[in-house]
Amino acid sequence: MKHKVAATHAPAISPDSLSSIVAATADSLHGQPHVLVRARAFAEPLIASEVMDTGENILAHADAVVGILKTIGGSEAVQAATYLVHSCQHLNKPQDVIAKAFGPSYAALAVETTKLIYLQRQTRAVDAKSQLHDDPAAQTENVRRMLLAFSRDLRVVMLRLASRLQTLRYYAASRQAAPRALAHESLHVFAPLANRLGIWQIKWEMEDLAFRFLEPDTYKQIARLLDEKRAEREVFMEALRAQLERDLNQNGIAALVQGRPKHIYSIVKKMRGKSLGFDQVFDIRALRVIAADVKGCYAALGFVHSCFSPVNGEFDDYIAKPKPNGYQSLHTVVRDEGGRAMEIQIRTQAMHDHAENGVAAHWAYKEAGTKGYAGVSASSEYDAKIAVLRQLLAWERELSGPAAQRARDANQGLFEDRIYVLTPDAAIVELPQGATTVDFAYSVHTSLGHRCRGARIDGVMVPLNTPLQNGQTVEVITTKEGGPSRDWLNPELGFLSSNRAKSKVRAWFNALAMEQTVAKGREAVEKLLQREGKTAMKLQDLAFLLGFKTADELFEVVGKDEFSLRTIENMLRPPEPAPSPDDYVLAKKTRQSEKSSAAGKGGKGSVLVVGMDSLLTQLAKCCKPAPPDVILGFVTKGKGVSIHRSDCSNFRNMATGSPDRVIEVEWGSAKAPDGAVYPVDVAVEAADRQGLLRDISEVFAKEKMNVIGVQTQSVKDNRGGTAWMTFTVEVAQSGRLNRVLGIVADVPGVRSARRR
């Protein structure tokens, strides 16, 4: 279950042939009764000729993993999943194909295990780069997080442990040196995990194999010391075993006495931890007593202590006080008449089975009934997951020594206070300390959080702002529709603790406000189209013409009053014909000037004709003068005096032909009266792009300059495209326009902005 598949020397199977094999195998499997046989038959055509990057044949690896799982009590279903996991990487849609052949539960298990393999490989690479792999506590924490993330199906853990053990066995059998990172991870992550789950059978072997690759010289030295007097030691221990078993039974204590295997890594740890010599380590000589019941365990202990001399400080009662992983046994160290020390463990058969197989018993709870193990009942899958959750939480609490502190210093936030609670289906949810039922709801699903209206903790109704505790079961009560309450964002009320949940609630209210703004903008635009007789125009097309990607983007800026409806109105209307030199527009006047009938001197803000009164004046369209521009007048035929800017090219041409019709004029006031505005033209040249018209229009809108006309033209060129735009805007005086043109020139893509 580990490693990517390396290139194989077997003949290649075409995708079509492979699909046919899988389909035919899946269809034929429905008639086979045993899932393990079916799973192997399903996987064989896919993996029989493939090898892992370790060099091991994948099918052989899977067969060996199945054997390990069977030894530790894994159910047939878990064993079958081994073959399906290795099939995933050879299937285009593994979830669908496996679900069709074996059901959704097997498909989910296979896919989740494959994901964990990939994620773990990534984590190992990151740890290697950050050098965290030298700190077992930090690396164990990383894998613990992954374990909890994938523990919705706890069988994933068993599959990974068995697969890693087989990989180490393969390296040892083929006399290859295992990669150091893999051996290090096995020793400091997988073996502690097996210990935490109580699977000592895997723990001991994995520790010895990993240590063999990490410190080959030390391993060989201890192995050689064990071998030197092996024959003499074995003869002595066998005689002692037989004598002790016979004496126990003769004294009314039913028991079996066994020898204990010697674990090299355990010996090395004790030698280093207690500064002992090889002969001082008690593990070298050890026996195990299997009693009929707990009472028999204590009776056997008393008998052993009466026959041998107990070593002070070397007795532990794990029956009265089990280890966090459920391990139970009596440990004692005694000396014989010759002063030779030996360790003796005393336990019942049930305790022994748990010590060897640990949490694997949870996957066989249906076969075991309600007897459970180590005093823990496993009458249901829910009870099983609760028990494992408690073990994992205890494992987390163990990470509190100096190594863990170094990990905290190296990576702040790695050991944040977390809690782990369960859904009614016994799925584990990780939350920050202090999280409430509302945080829990949002962690499960955003929709569940929005519709949350009540909650039960361990079956009891509680307020929504109740803080959660480790191991609790939380059930959320919802409505079919609805959203969060604004009270949830009030920190004084304590409804939310996690930043994730808070952001989800804020996003809901932001989206609600946005919907209202868009609806307001849509209504305004649709009313404008009705007034202009353009109801047949598609809203998306209108938005695109104005430089927006979607209609909602247009409605949003209109609803926020950031985009003038006048701009849309002018775009919808056809452009006026180009003005002739003698085509003029009447200047806008204030109410005061209108009352005086435009009598030159009397109209404040009007144009004065020097030396004359009551002459009709008009502002020329060609140059659109505005205060305080320098102006001159030209007497037209029947249309009064036209007012031009002194630099107007049309005026120069007319003055050259009829100099006698030129008269002096001036503005009636240096400052226009309140409400008086003058139309001026602004020419813009820019690189053509989407949204250009909108961006420039927004500048005029923010500067409170009304745009009353827009003409645009774009041409593709060697620079990608150039757009020419003419904006007619209303200003109170031309001096302020220069500052606004500077802002327009800063719009991305604009090359020049000037007054025409």
225-276 tens-digit pLDDT: 777 666 777 777 888 889 999 999 999 999 999 887 667 787 787 777 667 6
Q: How many CB atoms lie within 10 A of CB 550?
A: 12
Q: What is the pLDDT of residue 67?
A: 92
Q: What is the pLDDT of residue 352?
A: 84
- Tell me phi and psi for residue 326, to 5 degrees: 95, 0
- Ranking 115-124, 212-221, 542-551, 588-597 by mean pLDDT, the lowest is 588-597
In this predicted structure, the answer to whether residue 197 has a pLDDT above a threshold of 50 is yes
Confidence of residue 613 (pLDDT cuts 50, 70, 90): low
Q: What is the pLDDT of residue 427?
A: 62
Q: How many CB atoms lie within 10 A of CB 451?
A: 18
**pLDDT digit string, tens, across residues 55-69:** 999 999 999 999 998
Confidence of residue 125 (pLDDT cuts 50, 70, 90): low
- Tell me phi and psi for residue 329, to 5 degrees: 180, 160
**pLDDT digit string, tens, across residues 689-744:** 888 888 888 888 888 888 888 888 777 766 678 888 888 888 887 778 888 888 98
Q: What is the pLDDT of residue 326?
A: 73
In this predicted structure, the answer to whether residue 18 has a pLDDT above a threshold of 60 is no
Greatest mean pLDDT range, 36-50, 122-136, 516-530 = 36-50
Confidence of residue 396 (pLDDT cuts 50, 70, 90): very low
**pLDDT digit string, tens, across residues 317-361:** 999 888 766 788 999 988 888 777 888 999 998 888 777 765 544
Across the range 456-484, mean pLDDT stands at 86
Nearest to 744, CA basis, from 716, 719, 717, 725:
725
DSSP 8-state assignment for residue 614:
S
Q: Coil, strand or helix: which one is 725? A: strand
Q: What is the pLDDT of residue 497?
A: 85
Q: Report yes or no: 643 and 631 within 8 Å, Cβ to Cβ.
A: yes
- Ranking 37-51, 216-230, 239-253, 383-397 by mean pLDDT, the lowest is 383-397
- Angle between helix 104-130 and helix 155-173 axes, rounded to 10 deg: 60
AA letter at 73: G
AA letter at 337: E
In this predicted structure, the answer to whether residue 9 has a pLDDT above a threshold of 50 is no
Q: What is the pLDDT of residue 166?
A: 95
Across the range 580-588, mean pLDDT stands at 40
Q: What is the pLDDT of residue 513?
A: 83
* Token digits of residue 87: 């099939």
CA separation (Å) from 305 to 77, 291, 299, 316, 546? 45, 16, 10, 14, 95
In this predicted structure, the answer to whether residue 554 has a pLDDT above a threshold of 70 is yes
Q: What is the pLDDT of residue 167?
A: 94
**pLDDT digit string, tens, across residues 452-466:** 999 998 888 999 999
Q: What is the pLDDT of residue 428?
A: 64
Confidence of residue 4 (pLDDT cuts 50, 70, 90): very low
DSSP 8-state assignment for residue 363:
G
**pLDDT digit string, tens, across residues 491-532:** 888 888 888 888 888 888 888 888 888 888 888 888 888 887
Confidence of residue 425 (pLDDT cuts 50, 70, 90): low
CA separation (Å) from 125 to 6, 121, 131, 177, 682? 18, 6, 10, 19, 61
Q: Which residue has the higher pLDDT, 206 or 584?
A: 206
User: Cα(502)–Cα(484) distance, rounded to whole angstroms?
Assistant: 11
Q: How many CA atoms lie within 13 A of 250 on its CB side?
A: 6
User: Cα(722)–Cα(228) distance, rounded to whole angstroms?
Assistant: 91
Q: What is the pLDDT of residue 65?
A: 94
- Ranking 321-335, 394-408, 458-472, 598-612 by mean pLDDT, the lowest is 394-408
Mean pLDDT for the chain overall: 75
Q: Report yes or no: 721 and 715 within 8 Å, Cβ to Cβ.
A: yes
- Tell me phi and psi for residue 448, to 5 degrees: -65, -40
User: Cα(609)–Cα(564) distance, rounded to whole angstroms?
Assistant: 37
One DSSP character per residue, 184-248 reads: HHIIIIIHHHHHHTT-HHHHHHHHHHHHHHHSHHHHHHHHHHHHHTHHHHHHHHHHHHHHHHHHH
The percent of residues above 90 in pLDDT, for the chain, comes to 13
Statement: the pTM of the whole predicted model exceeds 0.95: no
Q: Where are the alpha helices (DSSP H) in 251-348?
A: 264-274, 294-307
Confidence of residue 126 (pLDDT cuts 50, 70, 90): low
Q: What is the pLDDT of residue 463?
A: 92
Q: What is the pLDDT of residue 403?
A: 43
Q: How many CA atoms lie within 13 A of 749 on its CB side?
A: 19
Ramachandran class of 153: left when φ > 0, alpha when ψ lies in -120 to 50, beta otherwise? beta
* Token digits of residue 232: 């003499």
Q: What is the pLDDT of residue 124?
A: 56
User: Cα(137)–Cα(381) distance, rounded to whole angstroms?
Assistant: 30
Q: What is the pLDDT of residue 22?
A: 45
Q: How many CB atoms lie within 10 A of CB 463?
A: 11
Q: Which residue has the higher pLDDT, 260 or 176?
A: 176
- Ranking 93-107, 343-357, 410-424, 727-741 by mean pLDDT, the lowest is 410-424
User: Cα(622)–Cα(740) distance, rounded to whole angstroms?
Assistant: 21
Across the range 355-369, mean pLDDT stands at 46
In this predicted structure, the answer to whether residue 568 has a pLDDT above a threshold of 90 is no
User: Cα(681)–Cα(710) distance, rounded to whole angstroms?
Assistant: 9
Q: What is the pLDDT of residue 373?
A: 30
User: Cα(344)–Cα(329) distance, rounded to whole angstroms?
Assistant: 10
Which residues are CB-neighbours of 458 under 8 A, at least 6 positions away?
Answer: 472, 473
Q: What is the pLDDT of residue 1?
A: 39
Structural domains in the chain plus CATH codes: 15-206 (1.10.3210.10), 223-368 (3.30.460.10), 417-497 (3.10.20.30), 508-572 (no CATH), 606-665 (no CATH), 678-755 (3.30.70.260)
